């Protein structure tokens, strides 16, 4: 885990976004995929980032300074079906603007629900982020919810959808219920700032 973490700010749109001057590790994914839970888990801080069981709540960009050496930037979740199309377009716009604005993006972590390895929304985001040329890794979240059989089935689907991604090199498993997933990822992030 990371030993120090500090929430530094929330932005409702891209106006006034900070120029941090430090590497930024971006967290992206569908609404409710577990972005905030991931931050809390890997920093071992229960309430650093607000989590919610109601999808669609995070409409903001949140910054967290980690070990005084880099930032986690938690972007709005995309693709929550129950909000209007115009609202969804606005969030997509915020994501696009952030990626265009920041000159400090070291790594994009694309969180994908281990139960849903073939969502079109994730496919769209994948195309977006790789077309822009950012370093991108995938994090399969909530793995505790799948049994072994479901996991191997979904890993196969994942590999078909994202060919070339290699376990523990460019994709990682995660669960907030088991700290065993942290070490590899912490090492990877620190080596890729
Ligand atoms: N079982 C399980 N639930 C998780 C995990 N990660 C997140 N959740 C739950 O998923 C819901 C959404 O999490 P949240 O972090 O708010 O998602 P966000 O919208 O991507 O920030 C919450 O109810 C979390 O408790 C996980 O690894 N395992
Ligand atoms: Mg969140």
**Ligand 2 centroid to 32 CA: how many Å?**
7
In 103-123, which positions are buried (b, 16+ CB within 10 angstroms) versus exposed (e)? ebbbbbbbbbbbebbebebbe
Q: How far apart are CA 11 and CA 14, in angstroms?
A: 7
The least confident of 79-88, 132-141, 144-153 is 79-88
Q: How far apart are CA 71 and CA 69, in angstroms?
A: 7
pLDDT tens readout for residues 171-185: 999 999 999 999 999
The whole-number average pLDDT for the span 68-89 is 81
- Confirm or reject: Cβ of 62 under 6 Å from ligand 1: no
Residue 57 has pLDDT above 60, yes or no: no
pLDDT tens readout for residues 85-121: 676 666 678 899 999 999 999 999 999 999 999 999 9
CATH architecture classification, 5-191: 3-Layer(aba) Sandwich (3.40)
Please compute, for residue 31, the number of CA atoms within 13 A of its CA located in the half-sphere on the CB side: 19
Domain spans of the chain? 5-191
- Confirm or reject: Cβ of 178 under 6 Å from ligand 1: no
Q: How far apart are CA 75 and CA 129, in angstroms?
A: 13
- Confirm or reject: Cβ of 34 under 6 Å from ligand 1: yes
Residue 78 has pLDDT above 60, yes or no: yes
Residue nearest to atom 5 of ligand 1 (CA): 142
Percent of the chain with pLDDT over 90: 76
Residue 94: predicted pLDDT: 86
Single pTM value for the model: 0.94
- Confirm or reject: Cβ of 41 under 6 Å from ligand 1: no
Residue 155: predicted pLDDT: 98
Which of 28, 35, 37 is the pocket-test mutation for ligand 1 (most atoms within 8 Å of CB)?
A: 37
Average pLDDT, the chain: 91
**pLDDT band at residue 47, thresholds of 50, 70 and 90?**
confident
Neighbours of 87 (CB within 10 A): 13
- Which atom of ligand 1 is least distant from the CA of 143? 27
Residue nearest to atom 14 of ligand 1 (CA): 34
């Amino acid at each position: 885990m990371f030993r120090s973490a500090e929430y530094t700010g929330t932005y409702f749109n891209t106006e006034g976004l900070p120029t941090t001057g430090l590497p930024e590790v971006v967290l992206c994914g569908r609404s409710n995929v577990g972005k905030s839970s991931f931050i809390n888990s890997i920093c071992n801080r229960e309430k650093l980032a607000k989590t919610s069981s109601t999808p669609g709540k995070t409409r903001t960009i949140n910054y967290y300074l980690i070990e005084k050496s880099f930032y986690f930037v938690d972007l709005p979740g995309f693709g929550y079906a129950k909000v209007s199309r115009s609202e969804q377009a606005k969030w997509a716009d915020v994501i696009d603007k952030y990626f265009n604005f920041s000159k400090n993006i070291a790594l994009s972590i694309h969180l994908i629900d281990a139960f849903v390895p073939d969502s079109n929304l994730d496919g769209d985001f994948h195309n977006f982020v790789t077309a822009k040329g950012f370093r991108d890794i995938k994090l399969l979240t909530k793995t505790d919810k799948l049994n072994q059989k479901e996991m191997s089935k979904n890993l196969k689907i994942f590999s078909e959808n994202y060919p070339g991604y290699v376990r523990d090199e460019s994709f990682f498993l995660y669960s907030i219920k088991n700290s065993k997933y942290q070490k590899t990822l912490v090492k990877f992030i620190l080596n890729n700032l």
